[in-house]
Chains A and B, each alone.
Chain A
Amino acid sequence: QKEVEQNSGPLSVPEGAIASLNCTYSDRVSQSFFWYRQYSGKSPELIMSIYSNGDKEDGRFTAQLNKASQYVSLLIRDSQPSDSATYLCAVLSYNTDKLIFGTGTRLQVFP
């Protein structure tokens, strides 16, 4: 079992819809969770961090964390073609110096 799992996609949504990206992790003592956006040919850009169970909202983005189910998700409201990118989920476990990354979900938003 991979430590951090994401569906590779592509996830295709129409402009204006809600895009829902999901991530599961295997280490129960994971404590910090991150979502990165990576455009083709560019470096990963941090867009959300979440540490506590529940929802965290930032503009059109909402991160959701459920530690009991070992599940973290990213919702993008009012999706725009400019949101088309690969989204990487990353997890930091307790007492470690390394983020564990999923392989990413490719999101396509069509007009």
Chain B
Amino acid sequence: NAGVTQTPKFQVLKTGQSMTLQCAQDMNHNSMYWYRQDPGMGLRLIYYSASEGTTDKGEVPNGYNVSRLNKREFSLRLESAAPSQTSVYFCASRGTSGYNEQFFGPGTRLTVL
């Protein structure tokens, strides 16, 4: 039972390049989330998916797209990376029954030059 996994762990991009961050969970959770965390800013929600086939914008969606490929996987795409997207990205998933607890993946540290 791996929980929430993310790939890659680290990535360096040049301005204008594109990339996809991958996230998968094995807890049979309905809801999945993408956050970014910057020094002094706390966790900011980029996009989320309440269930397979649905996605919604969070607090800071500009410059990002997401795909909820199936119940397990939720990817985040940067179409044209900008230095302002340098950050640590966390994926999370949450159960929607019982205690509704949310668990985070290990994160991806992205640098855009």
Contact = CB atoms under 8 A, between A and B. Distances in A.
A88 B50 contact: no
B35 to A, nearest CB: 8
Interface in A75-106: 88, 90, 92, 97-99, 101-104
Nearest to A6: B42
B74 interface: no
A18 B45 CA distance: 32
A46 interface: yes
Contacts of B99: 32, 49, 51
A104 B100 CA distance: 21
B104 A44 contact: yes
Interface residues of A, number: 20
Given A43-B90, A44-B43, 13 more contacts: A42-B106, A42-B107, A44-B90, A46-B103, A49-B99, A51-B99, A92-B100, A97-B48, A98-B48, A99-B102, A101-B43, A102-B42, A103-B42
Contacts, number: 45
A98 B58 contact: yes
Contacts of A36: 104
8 contacts: A32-B99, A42-B106, A42-B107, A43-B106, A90-B102, A97-B31, A97-B50, A102-B42
Interface of B: 31, 33, 40-43, 45, 48, 50, 56, 58, 90, 94, 96, 99-107
Contacts of B42: 88, 101-104
B55 to A, nearest CB: 11
Contacts of A44: 43, 90, 104
